């Protein structure tokens, strides 16, 4: 997939989006998050993550005008989910994932540290410090992983291969990855940047693919061996061996 030059194109598009929204009545501020806020991390494969802060009375009208962003570039895909979260793909490959919210809504959304790109001079800015979900302690990660491994083995035994894949190689592997990554794990998903934190072989054995649930369980049990004396670990091990 060739996306050479997309970093510069995305930055330019963000500037155009700022110009578009800063000229709308009721827009209070525009704030960037993720690599959009920390441009040293922005690359050709990054999306644009940002929030448009609006006053309560203007929110519905501003949401109804999202499609007008086609004035910047034709739109290849657009949807609004959960009432105010926008996913937008421009035809040139710039992908935007943003929200149009009131300042009071910010506290309801876990988020990393943000950065204001524009704000009204007469508006009192809200704090954009990180509000990340608290990491689960090690014993909780192990326990939750073991429960999902057990459930996945039951699904596999019933012939529900896809459901087993989800329980083991998605949910349980998420817990095991967080365990292995430790303090380096992304606060929102240990799948993010896992390849930079762990050897490729380890990731591959946790998620060997559809139809390989039992192999994944075996690998995860090795990484969960500190709990091997617990009844729950032994129950998973017994079910795997049956």
Does pLDDT of 135 surpass 90? no
Contact 216, 205 (CB under 8 A): yes
Residue of 35 and 2 predicted with greater confidence: 35
Chosen domain end from 74, 91, 119 = 119
Per the structure, the count of domains in the chain is 2
Chosen domain end from 119, 153, 179 = 119
Residues 94 and 177 in one domain: no
CA dihedral 169, 172, 178, 181 (to 10 degrees): -50
* DSSP-derived secondary structure for 157-224: HHT-HHHHHIIIIIIIHHHHHHHHHGGGS-SS-TTTTHHHHS-HHHHHHH---TT-HHHHHHHHHHHT
Q: Measured between alpha carbons, how far is 85 from 218 in angstroms, rounded to an integer?
A: 39
| pTM reported for the whole predicted model | 0.83
- Asked if residue 102 is part of any domain, the answer here is yes
Residues 13 and 111 in one domain: yes
Does pLDDT of 1 surpass 70? no
Q: Residue 52: beta bridge partners?
A: 30, 100
Residues 29 and 113 in one domain: yes
- Asked if residue 125 is part of any domain, the answer here is no
Residues 10 and 75 in one domain: yes
Residues 156 and 103 in one domain: no
- Asked if residue 109 is part of any domain, the answer here is yes
Residues 106 and 149 in one domain: no
Q: Which of 91, 120, 22 is nearest to 62 (CA)?
A: 22
Model pLDDT for residues 51-86, shown as the tens digit of each residue = 999 999 999 999 999 999 999 999 999 999 998 999
Model pLDDT for residues 15-34, shown as the tens digit of each residue = 999 999 999 999 999 999 99
Residues 12 and 110 in one domain: yes
Return the pLDDT at 108. Answer: 83
Chosen domain end from 64, 87, 119 = 119
- Asked if residue 155 is part of any domain, the answer here is yes
- Asked if residue 67 is part of any domain, the answer here is yes
Residues 59 and 22 in one domain: yes
- Asked if residue 126 is part of any domain, the answer here is no
Residues 14 and 70 in one domain: yes
Contact 177, 165 (CB under 8 A): no
Contact 14, 50 (CB under 8 A): yes
Range of the domain at 206: 138-241
Question: Count of CB atoms within 10 A of residue 70's CB?
Answer: 13
* Range list of H helices, 1-137: 6-22, 59-63
Q: What percent of the chain has pLDDT over 90?
A: 88
- Asked if residue 197 is part of any domain, the answer here is yes
- Asked if residue 133 is part of any domain, the answer here is no
Place of tokens 């876990």: 110
Query: What are φ and ψ of residue 3, in 5° steps?
Result: -130, 30
- Residue 69: give its domain's CATH number: 3.30.460.10
User: What is the layout of strands, in order, in the sheet containing 85-90?
Assistant: 75-81, 85-90, 95-101, 48-54, 27-33, 115-119
């Amino acid at each position: 997939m060739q996306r050479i030059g997309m970093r510069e194109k995305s930055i330019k598009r963000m500037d155009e989006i700022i110009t578009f929204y800063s000229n709308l009545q009721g827009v209070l501020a525009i704030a960037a998050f993720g690599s959009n806020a920390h441009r040293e991390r922005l690359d050709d494969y990054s999306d644009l993550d940002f929030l448009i802060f609006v006053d309560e009375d203007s929110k519905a009208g501003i949401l109804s005008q999202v499609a007008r962003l086609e004035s910047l570039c034709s739109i290849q895909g657009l949807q609004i989910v959960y009432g105010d979260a926008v996913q937008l793909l421009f035809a040139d490959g710039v992908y935007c994932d943003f929200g149009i919210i009131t300042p009071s809504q910010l506290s309801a959304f876990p988020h990393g540290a943000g950065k204001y790109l524009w704000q009204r001079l007469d508006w009192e800015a809200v704090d954009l410090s990180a509000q990340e979900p608290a990491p689960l302690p090690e014993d909780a990660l192990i326990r939750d992983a073991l429960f999902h491994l057990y459930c996945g083995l039951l699904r596999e035994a019933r012939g529900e291969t896809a459901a087993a894949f989800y329980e083991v190689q998605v949910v349980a592997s998420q817990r095991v990855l967080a365990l292995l990554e430790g303090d380096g794990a992304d606060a929102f998903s240990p799948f993010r940047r896992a390849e930079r934190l762990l050897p490729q072989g380890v990731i591959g054995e946790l998620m060997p693919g559809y139809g390989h649930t039992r192999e994944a369980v075996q690998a995860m049990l090795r990484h969960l061996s500190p709990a091997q004396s617990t009844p729950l670990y032994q129950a998973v091990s017994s079910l795997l061996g049956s």
